[in-house]
Amino acid sequence: MTDDLLIETRDHVLTIRWNAPDRLNSLTGEMLHAAAAAIEDAGGDVRCVLITGSGRAFGAGAALGEDFDGAATLVGINRLVRAITSAPLPVVAGVNGLAAGASASLALSADLVVARRSAYFLLAFVNIGLMPDGGATELVAASIGRARAMQMAMLGQRLPAADAADTGLIHSVVEDVDFDAEVAALVERLAAGPTLALGRMKAAINASTLPTLDETLDRETEGQAVLFETHDATEGGRAFVEKRPAKFEGR
Here the CATH number for the domain that contains residue 159 is 3.90.226.10
Higher pLDDT residue, 43 or 50? 50
> Concatenated DSSP letters for 96-140?
-SEEETHHHHHHHTSSEEEEETT-EEE-GGGGGT----TTHHHHH
Q: Is residue 143 part of a domain?
A: yes
Q: What is the pTM of this model?
A: 0.95
Q: Is residue 230 part of a domain?
A: no
Q: Is residue 185 part of a domain?
A: no
Q: Is residue 29 part of a domain?
A: yes
Strands 48-53 and 120-122, by their bridges, are unpaired
Domain span including residue 160: 5-176+194-209
pLDDT digits (tens, 9 = 90+) for 129-171: 999 999 999 999 999 999 999 999 999 999 999 999 999 999 9
Q: What does the pLDDT average to over 168-196?
A: 98
Q: What does the pLDDT average to over 102-127?
A: 97
Q: What is the predicted pLDDT for the residue at 68? A: 79
* Angstrom distance (rounded) from CA 186 to CA 163: 21
Q: What is the dihedral of CA 178, 93, 202, 109, to 10 degrees?
A: 140
State the pLDDT confidence band at 66, using cuts at 50, 70 and 90.
Answer: low
Q: Is residue 221 part of a domain?
A: no
Q: Is residue 31 part of a domain?
A: yes
Q: Is residue 214 part of a domain?
A: no
* Angstrom distance (rounded) from CA 240 to CA 101: 13
Q: Is residue 117 part of a domain?
A: yes
The total domain count for the chain is: 1
